[in-house]
A and B are shown apart, each in its own frame.
Chain A
Amino acid sequence: MVTKMTGILEFKEKIKAFYAKNEVFIFPVVKFLLAFAVLSALNGKLGYMTRIDNAAIVLIVALACSFLPTASITLFAAMFSLLHMYALSIETALLGLSLYLLMFLLFFRVGSKYSLVLVITPMMFLLKIPYVMPIALGLIGTPGAAVALGCGVAVHFYFQTIINQAPTIATMGNEELTAKVRLLIDGFLNNRTMLVMIAAFAITVVVVYLIRRMSIDYSWTVAIVAGCLLNLVILLVGDLMYDTNMSVVGAILGTVLAAVVAKGIEFFRFCVDYSRTEKVQFEDDEYYYYVKAVPKMTVAAQNNTVKKINTQRRSAPARTSGSGRTVTTERTATGRSGYSQSHLTGGRSVTINSESMTDEETDDYEEIF
Chain B
Amino acid sequence: MLNEERVILMTRMASYEEHEGKKNMAIGRYFRSDYIAIQVIKSIFSATIAYAVVLALYIFYDFENFMQNIYKMDLIAFARSVLTCYGVTVVVYGIISYLLCTYRYAKAKKSLKSYYSNLKKLHSLYNEQ
The interface of chain A, by Cβ under 8 A from chain B, is: 95, 98, 101-102, 105-106, 109-110, 178, 181-182, 185, 278, 280-282, 284, 287, 289, 291, 293, 367-369
Contact = CB atoms under 8 A, between A and B. Distances in A.
Interface residues on B, range: 35 or more
27 contacts: A98-B56, A98-B57, A101-B49, A102-B50, A102-B53, A102-B54, A105-B47, A105-B50, A106-B50, A106-B93, A110-B97, A178-B60, A178-B61, A178-B63, A178-B64, A185-B61, A280-B14, A282-B13, A282-B14, A284-B126, A289-B7, A289-B10, A289-B11, A291-B11, A367-B114, A369-B12, A369-B16
A101 B100 CA distance: 21
Given A178-B60, A178-B64, A185-B57, A101 B16 contact: no
A95 B50 contact: no
Contacts of A287: 2
Contacts, number: 73
Contacts of B93: 106
Given A105-B50, A291-B14, A369 B115 contact: yes
A269 B115 CA distance: 27
Contacts of B11: 278, 280, 282, 289, 291, 293
Interface in B57-108: 57, 60-64, 93, 97, 100
A158 to B, nearest CB: 13
Contacts of B50: 101-102, 105-106
B18 interface: yes
A291 B11 CA distance: 7
B14 A281 contact: yes
Contacts of A95: 57
A146 to B, nearest CB: 14
A181 B97 contact: no
Given A181-B61, A369-B118, 17 more contacts: A101-B53, A102-B54, A106-B46, A106-B50, A109-B42, A178-B62, A181-B57, A181-B60, A278-B15, A280-B11, A282-B13, A284-B126, A289-B10, A289-B11, A291-B10, A291-B11, A367-B20
